[in-house]
Each structure stands twice: as structure tokens, then as C-alpha cells.
Structure 1
Amino acid sequence: MLKIGLKTALASLVILSLGLAGCGNTSTPPATSNQTTSSDSAKVLKVGTDPTFAPFEFMDDQNKTTGFDVELMNAIGADMGYKVQFESSSFDGLIPALQAGNYGAVIAAMTITPEREKSVDFSNKYLMAAQYIAVKKDSSIKSAADLKGKKIGVQNATTGQTVVEGMGITPQKYEAIPDAMNDLINGGLDAVVADSPVVLYFIKQNPTTNIHYINGDFSNEYYGIAVKKGDSELKDKINASLKKIQDSSKYNEIYKKWFNEDAPTLK
């Protein structure tokens, strides 16, 4: 996403219930150790995410957290010698919970921004995205300039919100993109601005919804894995494992599974 700081769930979570990549818990769990040892002596790394942002993180039909970010983080954890334990939260609660020590890290299609870097440290970038505009095919909106004076939906605390507000537009904020898409389909919104992979995945999973996308020519954004400010030890370990995976065929294998194309070079 791009989240402040490209978020749809599978077809079963959209349209009728439209619950895109179902909301996580909005309450902040009590602070606990973010790195523990299980009964079988395997090291556990607690990782926060917002499972409402397909194809990056969402709940599958067996109520298990899945998606590109989930597979990537599991691969990183395995290389580091950790079993990853995912903890769910609303997106805007992830950084506060990380700061409180509830997680060791956060992966949630989180864009690396100067504002967020004041609160957390980020790993090296692992994916590039941009903001796309989702509209109905018969919409009069043909470019970003046409958003003026229209009803625009965004996910709360994402870079979609930042981009829209930066244009002088006050958007309608949602806890999950599927809810915004539902309102767009039903005529309550004129457009939805969200991360490009999320918009493309929604359209692919819901081809009968008469929704298409517009490339608004917004700046590229890069996702990073957040760790607590000053936790250079964990950040360095994540970066080392991330580089190893990116340099091997594993990263492209995961990317192609979720985006149906080879991974682009991160510029």
C-alpha cells in the first residue's frame, strides 16, 4: 500500500462482504517480548501486519494470514533462523504497537517515508509501487486532475490518503480498501486511490465489477520492513537475509506467484 507512512482480499472477501487485503484487530495488544523461544526451542519473531491488503497480506479461506509480504517475511525469518509469528492490527496501529515492543518488526506494504522514519527504522526496500486510481469504466475521471470536486475513497493512514490530501482534496477514509471499493461499486464514491498492486489484484479477482484503473502518474514508492527505532541488530539481520533472497531465485519465485510476472529491478 501504498500505505502512509499498490492495500483486495480474495474474491470470497469482496463484493458482498468486500472485506480486501478483512480488517485486523484495532485494539493494541499488551506489550510482550517480541522474540521468544517456543517449546521446541525454535526462535520466534513476532511480526505485525494488517491482513486487509491483498495480495500483500490477507486472510485466506482457512483464516490463515497469507500474501506476498507473508511469504517474503517467512523466507527472511527462515534464513535468519526464526519462525515468524504474525500479529494482526489495523494499519494505523502498527507503528505504535511496534514502538511499544509488541512486535519485533512490521511488514504491511508500508511505504518508506521521511515522516515514518522519524518513528521507526526501515530495512532496505523490497518492492516498488505507485498510487493508482480505481474508477468505473464509464467514469468522467480520466486523470488525477479530474479528482477535484469528486468523492474519493482511501485507506486510512496510507500514502493514498497523503497523495489525495496533497491535492487539496478531503477524502473519505476507510479501514480497508475493500470497503472503499464496495462504495465505489455501489455509487457512493467516484474513485478510490490505492497502491497499484492492490488495485490490479482487485480487478483481476473481480472482473465483472466494471472497475478499471488509471495511472495517475504519481511518484514511485518503495516498501520496507519496519523495526523499532535503534534496533540496528535486527535491521541488519533482516537486510542480510533480504539481500540473499533477492539475489537468489527465491524472491522472483514469490513475486511471480502473486503478481504473475517477473520482479522488476528496484531502482
Structure 2
Amino acid sequence: MFKPKFRFVLAGLLSLSLLTLAGCGSTPAPAPAPTPAPAPVEKVLKVGSDIAYAPFEFMDEKQQATGFDIELINALGADMGYTKVNIETAAFDGLLPALQAGKYDCVISAMTITEKRAQSVQFSDKYFRAIQYIAMKKGAGFKNLADLKGKKVGVQLSTTGQEVVEKAGIEPRKFDTTPDAMNDLLNGGVEAVVADGPVVLWFQAQNEKANIVSVEADVEEEFYGIAMKLDNKELGDKMNASLKKLKENGKYNEIYKKWFKVDAPKF
């Protein structure tokens, strides 16, 4: 007598169970957590420079590297696709050995392209024209290198200033930096300093009351280049392509005019 009713109840429970199971089966599986994007790889250009050679490279009041060379290499690095240009200071005479040892990718430090240097490093196309100046106290009257014979002459170690003085038959006093030599001139330690014209003129402008005057030395003009390892042709090609581009699009002239107040010469 109770069996039909029991079957009815059992059938109802089974139907409810099936509906519940169907509902559970339709719930979508949770989406997998998105894979985080890989961090961008930082492409760094390692640069060596003697940051004591205003207006090409020096430390500003915040102890940040600045100057013509610094702005130029940053612009070149950006154009070549580097995300960061890391500039490290070192003594001038140690820059090329460190470059050859792989510490730097390149060196920019108002470095004159010479045959001797080009035997051990690869230079970019020339990026700056300079000439040696003779700095002296007002009234000294030096007009050329011959006038410096028998005088106390200061130069920066391992520079073309040292080379031209020694070629003139003069044994100079060597300093770690040109500002060191110029300060010795101020103090009477040397009677003249031979160094790159823009550096001499910058020092004069910063020390207007020091009665320092200067004249062009009777030597040939020089050209600066960016030094790279001899076997790094890929970087050399990219550097020259970017340098050419910056000259053509006006960026080079913009940087030049900021630091030297005139348009860049053609060479």
C-alpha cells in the first residue's frame, strides 16, 4: 500500500539530484592567472670619461656629469637604442687601457684622434675640431711655442698638449688634469700652460679676475673622436651612423651651440 508513494518520492529525489548535478556541471572552471610579462631587458652603454675637463665633461653643482661630450654621448646612446648610458669617470691616461680590458664599451673625453692611439683603438668619425692654446699671465707676452723654451710649462699628462710641447724641445711639468695645471699657473708654479683651446677659454671665463690671457699655439688643428675596441665594428658602425644622423637633423648643432654659443663648424 505504501510502495507507489515511496516510488514517487524516490523519483522526485532522483530528479532533483540530476538537476543539481547538471547545475554544478555548467559552472565554468576559473580562468588561469595571467602570466606576468617579462621585465624589459635594460640595454646599457658603458662609457668611460675623465670628468674634469670643462666644458666637455665636468661635475655640476649636484655632482652630476655634464658638458658637451656628456650630452652628445647621451643623445648618441638614445639614438642607437640604449635604454641607459652609464658614464664612469677615470684618469685620462687610464681610459684606453680600461677600454681595451672591456670595462667600457666606448670612451668620450675630448680625445684627439692620433695615429698612435688609432693603433690600439677604433675611433668614430671626428666630432669636434680643436687647436692647442698657450695660456699665460697677462704681460708674459708668449706668442708661440718657441717662446716657451726655458720656461716652466704645464700640460695634462698623456694629452696632445704634452706631445706638442715635447716636440718643441721643452720638458713640461705634467698634471693629472688641465684645471690642475691652470691653477698652478694662477699660483705662479708654472709660467704657461698648453692645452685645448675650449678648455683654456672656459677656465679664463670662470676666473675673469685672474689676469690670464691666451693665444693659439702654432700647431695644426686637431679632431676629437669616440674610442671603441678595435674589434667592435658593430658598435663603430652604429656610432658613426647615429653621429651622422644627429648632424643632419640638427641635434648635434643644438648641443654645440648650447656649450659654445656659436653654430658648429663644418668639417
| TM-score bucket (shorter structure) | 0.7 to 0.9
Q: Does 1:61 align with 2:69?
A: no
Instruction: State the shift of 1:239 in Å.
Output: 0.4
The residue aligned with 1:179 is 180
The residue aligned with 1:244 is 245
Alignment of 1:94-109 (within 5 A): 94-109=95-110
For residues 250 and 207 of structure 2, what CA distance do their matches in structure 1 show? 30
Instruction: State the shift of 1:202 in Å.
Output: 1.0
For residues 245 and 42 of structure 2, what CA distance do their matches in structure 1 show? 22
The residue aligned with 1:28 is none
The residue aligned with 1:154 is 155
User: Which has the higher relative contact order, 1 or 2, with Cα contacts under 8 A spaced 6 or more apart?
Assistant: 1
- 1:200 partner amino acid: L
For residues 40 and 212 of structure 2, what CA distance do their matches in structure 1 show? 48
The residue aligned with 1:13 is none
Instruction: State the shift of 1:200 in Å.
Output: 1.0
For residues 80 and 142 of structure 1, what CA distance do their matches in structure 2 show? 44
The RMSD of aligned alpha carbons is: 1.0
For residues 149 and 197 of structure 2, what CA distance do their matches in structure 1 show? 20
For residues 86 and 40 of structure 1, what CA distance do their matches in structure 2 show? 21
Instruction: State the shift of 1:55 in Å.
Output: 0.4
For residues 203 and 254 of structure 2, what CA distance do their matches in structure 1 show? 21
Q: Does 1:70 align with 2:70?
A: yes
Q: After TM superposition, which residue ranges in structure 1, 4 or more long, deviate above 4 angstroms? A: none
Instruction: State the shift of 1:40 in Å.
Output: 4.7
The residue aligned with 1:9 is none
For residues 98 and 151 of structure 1, what CA distance do their matches in structure 2 show? 33
The residue aligned with 2:256 is 255
The residue aligned with 1:44 is 44
The residue aligned with 1:141 is 142
Instruction: State the shift of 1:236 in Å.
Output: 0.3
Q: Which moved more, 1:159-168 or 1:142-151?
A: 142-151
| Kept in 1: contact 2:145–2:168 (CA 8 A) | no
The residue aligned with 1:34 is none
- 1:56 partner amino acid: F
| Kept in 1: contact 2:153–2:191 (CA 8 A) | yes
Q: Secondary structure at the match of 1:246?
A: helix
The unaligned stretches of length 5 or more in structure 1 are 1-38
Larger Rg: 2
The residue aligned with 2:15 is none
Instruction: State the shift of 1:103 in Å.
Output: 0.4
The residue aligned with 2:207 is 206
**1:103-130 deviation per Cα after TM superposition (whole angstroms, max 9, x unaligned):** 0000000000000011100000000001
- 1:185 partner amino acid: L
For residues 148 and 184 of structure 2, what CA distance do their matches in structure 1 show? 16
- 1:230 partner amino acid: D
The residue aligned with 1:117 is 118
| Kept in 1: contact 2:145–2:165 (CA 8 A) | no
Sequence identity, in percent? 61
| Kept in 1: contact 2:77–2:85 (CA 8 A) | yes
Instruction: State the shift of 1:207 in Å.
Output: 1.0
Instruction: State the shift of 1:144 in Å.
Output: 2.0
For residues 217 and 46 of structure 2, what CA distance do their matches in structure 1 show? 36
Q: Secondary structure at the match of 2:210?
A: coil
The unaligned stretches of length 5 or more in structure 2 are 1-38
For residues 168 and 236 of structure 2, what CA distance do their matches in structure 1 show? 34
Higher share in helix: 2
For residues 99 and 84 of structure 1, what CA distance do their matches in structure 2 show? 19
The residue aligned with 2:227 is 226
Instruction: State the shift of 1:140 in Å.
Output: 3.4
Instruction: State the shift of 1:152 in Å.
Output: 0.2
For residues 218 and 40 of structure 2, what CA distance do their matches in structure 1 show? 50
- 1:46 partner amino acid: K
For residues 159 and 142 of structure 1, what CA distance do their matches in structure 2 show? 19
